[in-house]
Amino acid sequence: MIFTIRSGITILADHPRLYLPRHSTPGKDWFRIQKPIPTDPLCTAKQDSITLPDGVGLPGRRHSIGLARRWHLGIDTLWLLNGLIFTVLIFAIGQWMRLVPMSWNVSGTFDTVPLDQFSIQIARTLHFLVLCWFVMFIVVHVALVMTTGALRNLNHIYVSRDDASWVGFAIFAVSMVVMIVAWVASTPLTYRFLRKVQKAGYALIGPAQKLFEHIDAKPGQYSEKDISPYFWHNGKYPETEEYKQLQAGDFAGYTLRINGLVENPVDLNLEQLRSFPTTSNSRSICAFKAGRASRSR
């Protein structure tokens, strides 16, 4: 849960706003951990992200959402596997009777996970609410364990003993040391072994990803209502004086120069570029119009 929560916070920090509508339109967020969207039309999604301390997010820092997703989805896979094993065992050894209410005098405890059956924005909201639920559950649960007979409760949890010896507490203390070491070491080790973390994360989530990555609308099935009213710019805009002058003139003076290893070098303005027909071919239509690339000798 430590890795799941920390990596989830990093993912949230990359776009620190939650919405109920499908589109991420400024001003429509119901929750945010960032300032309001500035009126600057050149404000980018990268500028909106938040830098987290290394000890908070996983891996932390800014624009590390790719690594965070590897951690988040990979650990979620292990968590689901752990839950599957737990479910099999409680039925195999008869412990299900201690969890499932057999009368109105017994209440059961049930965990919950979000179901992503809605838009991505509702899914993000559900993830955040479940995150808050888990954090609250952990805090309350640990507090109750420690305040209602810590030694006996820890023996119940760790060694299945109903006494007040220190065995369970000793194992608990060792497990806490392991968690603290893992907490501190996870971020620096992630940045030191980037590729290994990426490969390990994909090895865990890859099989499931391959099953579901093609479940999407086919080309041509999107309608006008699917187009967001606000376009989140990405990357970083140039800060040169030349770019500012082009922007002030709505890029009317912009030209694309195609030269180098081509037979027919050409300068194309926006009107000429927009006059070319669209194509699904990966080869650039502009380069095709300008001439075939010649092989250097």
pLDDT in tens, 223-275: 777 788 888 887 778 888 888 888 888 888 888 999 998 898 999 988 888 88
**Is residue 149 pLDDT above 50, yes or no?**
yes
Task: Examine residue 227 and state whether it is found in any structural domain, yes or no.
Answer: no
**Is residue 2 pLDDT above 70, yes or no?**
yes
Residue type, 130: V
11 and 121 within one domain: yes
246 and 124 within one domain: no
Write out the H or E segment, with its range, that includes residue 206: helix 194-212
Task: Examine residue 25 and state whether it is found in any structural domain, yes or no.
Answer: yes
271 and 130 within one domain: no
251 and 199 within one domain: no
Its domain, for residue 28, covers 2-148+193-212
200 and 94 within one domain: yes
N residues, the chain: 297
- Whether 10 and 68 have beta carbons less than 8 Å apart is answered as yes
**Is residue 279 pLDDT above 80, yes or no?**
no
Number of C-beta neighbours around residue 235 at 10 A: 7
38 and 127 within one domain: yes
Task: Examine residue 280 and state whether it is found in any structural domain, yes or no.
Answer: yes
If one counts the domains in the chain, the total is 2
Task: Examine residue 275 and state whether it is found in any structural domain, yes or no.
Answer: yes
